[in-house]
Amino acid sequence: MKLYYTPLACSLADHIALHEAGASFEREAVDLVTKKTASGIDFHAITPKGYVPALLLDDGELITENIAILDWIAGEYPALGAPGTLGRTRVLEALTFVSTELHRAFKPMWHAGSAEAKAKAKATISGLFEEVAGWLKGDYLFGARPTVADFYLFVMLLWAKRFGIDLPAPLFALRERMAARPSVRTAMRHEGLLAAADA
Ligand SMILES: N[C@@H](CCC(=O)N[C@@H](CS)C(=O)NCC(=O)O)C(=O)O
């Protein structure tokens, strides 16, 4: 299995999930500007979509779209899902919110645009974080242990730091808690996201 990723992109959620699961996998970085992989392959030849994440399975099947990949990982490694008859639905509900509301709201922050558009995006993001802050059922979204939805949310919390967006106290604490997990530290180290002194 091979994960195509870009440092600090939304693919970090999948990277963390695979480490958290103890999965055996390879990884290959993708330059989203040149659309070349680290080994020099045209990324469009791997997926015409041209964006990360993409997960190549051992049987040659390629999964794209973050919600689908994270749902597949939780299916293979049920400890990364939520319990109960509605467990999978609740995780998909959270993943969809992170993807279609939060992740999408960050788009203006990553691209060239007016200061006004960025200020508007920051206000939208802060409102969304206020909403998510009320969802925690314990140390994580669904209780005492993290699910794939926490990993995607964590990437959004890192992006908040990157763009100087303040977090409600429960999400600030969640970011700290997540950042201390060995799987998260390993994935971040592999993506060059830990300060040298901290790596
Ligand atoms: N619909 C995709 C979007 C993924 C996405 O936005 N990926 C970004 C990185 S976070 C990307 O690769 N952008 C490069 C591009 O679109 O050219 C998904 O949900 O997985």
Residues 42 and 87 grouped into a single domain: no
Each residue's pLDDT tens digit, 129-176: 999 999 999 999 999 999 999 999 999 999 999 999 999 999 999 999
28 CA distance to ligand 1 middle (Å):
16
Residues 165 and 89 grouped into a single domain: yes
| Banded model confidence at residue 91, pLDDT cuts 50, 70, 90 | very high
What is the sign, positive or negative, of the torsion defined by CA atoms of 48, 51, 56, 62?
negative
Token pair of 163 as six digits: 């763009």
- DSSP run (H or E) holding 27: strand 26-31
Q: Nearest 5 degrees, angle CA 178-CA 56-CA 87? A: 45
Statement: residue 114 has pLDDT above 80: yes
Residues 150 and 194 grouped into a single domain: no
Residue 35 contacts by C-beta under 8 Å, 6 or more apart in sequence? 42, 43, 44, 50
Residues 54 and 41 grouped into a single domain: yes
CA distance 93 to 99: 10
Mean pLDDT, to the nearest integer, of 73-83? 97
Residue 5 contacts by C-beta under 8 Å, 6 or more apart in sequence? 11, 12, 14, 15, 27, 28, 29, 30, 52, 53, 191
Each residue's pLDDT tens digit, 27-62: 999 999 999 999 999 999 999 999 999 999 999 999
Statement: residue 197 has pLDDT above 80: no
Closest-CA residue, ligand 1 atom 14, reads: 51
* Structural domains counted in the chain: 2
- DSSP run (H or E) holding 2: strand 2-5
Ligand 1 pocket list (CB less than 6 A): 9-10, 32, 50-53, 65-66, 99
Each residue's pLDDT tens digit, 94-110: 999 999 999 999 999 99
Residues 6 and 73 grouped into a single domain: yes
Residue 195: what pLDDT?
77
Instruction: Return the higher-pLDDT residue of 172 and 198.
Output: 172
Residues 87 and 177 grouped into a single domain: yes
Residues 89 and 177 grouped into a single domain: yes
Residue 75: what pLDDT?
98
Closest-CA residue, ligand 1 atom 6, reads: 51
Residues 112 and 172 grouped into a single domain: yes
Residues 52 and 116 grouped into a single domain: no
Residues 24 and 46 grouped into a single domain: yes
Report which residue type is found at 151.
F
The CATH number of the domain holding residue 139 is 1.20.1050.10
CA distance 92 to 154: 16
Number of helices (H) and strands (E), helices first, in the chain? 9, 5
| Domain containing residue 50 | 2-78+185-198
Q: Nearest 5 degrees, angle CA 91-CA 155-CA 192? A: 140
Residues 70 and 92 grouped into a single domain: no
Q: Nearest 5 degrees, angle CA 109-CA 112-CA 115? A: 70
The CATH number of the domain holding residue 192 is 3.40.30.10
Residues 36 and 107 grouped into a single domain: no
